[in-house]
Amino acid sequence: MFTGEQFISDRITAIGSSGIRKIFDLAATMENPIDLSMGQPDFPVPDPIKNAAIDAIKNDKNNYTVTYGLPALREKIAAKLSTEFDGWDPTIFVTCGISGALTLTMMCCLNPGDEVIFADPYFVSYPHLTRLAGGKPVPVSIYGDFKLRKDAIESAITDRTRILLLNSPSNPAGVVHKPDEIEAMCELAVKHDLLVVSDEIYDELSFDGRPTSPVSFIPDRTLLLRGYGKSYAVTGWRMAYAAGPAAVIQQMAKLQQFTFVCAPQPAQVGCIEAFDCDISHNVRNYRAKRDLAADILKDAFDFAPPGGGFFIFCKAPDGFDTGTAFVEKAIKHNVLTVPGSAFSDQDTHFRISYAVNDDILRKGCEILRNIAR
């Protein structure tokens, strides 16, 4: 029987299924699970954003846009970045999510064998997108306090290193890196002639002021990636933007012409309204959820206090050899989390998301605590 398996490339068979998606698929087969696995906001999209997108559809704004994105949206982005970073005037490009932006970045900036350094634990796509572009992922462990250490990162740099990929607030650990950590990474980038790619998808969901961006130190060699999905609950719209060196952005836009083509026009129209939406109440709400979960879990698990996003990355308690073993035990108690091996070369931790109803969050965390005890 013909299956088509002989036509599958080596580059794709080397990639396993997403550990997050495996849990997502498992949840669909369970009856009323306590789902603490998905990194997806539980608050509604602000009405001005929804209404603008709906009006765009009704008014037949459903066709392609220019590859770089709607001028009105790019003007809003440019004004925001200029205000935030003291007149910074990068080239700006609207992308199909940050995952789309990362795909374009790797394809445009890596030659075969070039290396990309990032902290371990890391977002699931970092190593795979690097390999798809022919590059070599170089994860550097920050386990313990989850801080970026200059000496550890520098020891991983070789003459093939091209990109230093940063993520703050981070997924899965929720850690916001301190200004001195980011500044140290920028010093390494200058010293070793690296491009800093800064994944700042959770920048609006930070609990103690805005996170420090490498743009503050080395604007000329930073490729800034930000999006709308997590902050405004439009994850399914796949809306983000890249801002940075003109030469890099130009090549990313050229490749988008032959891949994603452009971001969806109604979603772009909707996101124009995001810049005038106050989401401070959502940030306060998530800070409270973070505190609720941390208070329940703190006596049973070891974790770094999250400073942003909506995740806690817990070490598996005594009695469990791996994070996966603990996740499997929790599933038997109808609680879904994600094993740390989905985000790491190690299998010592597991990730919970507190982007859920408070009652569900409280119940799930109490079950996890009781399992640990």
Domain boundaries, the chain: 5-44+279-372, 47-276
What is the pLDDT at residue 17? 63
DSSP state of 148: -
Helix, strand, or coil (residue 168)? coil
What is the pLDDT at residue 25? 64
What is the pLDDT at residue 22? 63
Instruction: Please state the separation of Cα 257 from the chain's center in Å.
Output: 24
What is the pLDDT at residue 209? 87
Q: Give me the half-sphere count of Cα atoms (radius 13 Å) on the Cβ side of residue 295.
A: 9
**Beta strands 195-199 and 349-353, pairing class:** unpaired
pLDDT in tens, 301-321: 999 999 999 999 999 999 999
What is the pLDDT at residue 254? 96
What is the pLDDT at residue 114? 98
Q: Tell me which CATH homologous superfamily contains domain 5-44+279-372.
A: Aspartate Aminotransferase, domain 1 (3.90.1150.10)
pTM of the model: 0.93
What is the per-residue burial (b if ≥16 Cβ within 10 Å, else e) of 140-149? bebbeebebb
Taking residue 350's Cβ as centre, other Cβ atoms within 10 Å add up to: 31
Q: Dihedral sign, CA of 206, 140, 131, 187? A: positive
What is the pLDDT at residue 116? 98
Helices and strands (H and E) in the chain: how many: 14, 12
Spans of the chain below 70 pLDDT: 16-28
Fold of domain 47-276 = Aspartate Aminotransferase; domain 2 (3.40.640)
Q: Are 281 and 297 in contact (CB under 8 A)?
A: no
Residues present in the chain in total:
373
* Backbone phi and psi for residue 214, each to the nearest 5 degrees, phi listed first: -60, -20
The position carrying tokens 């609006």 is 204
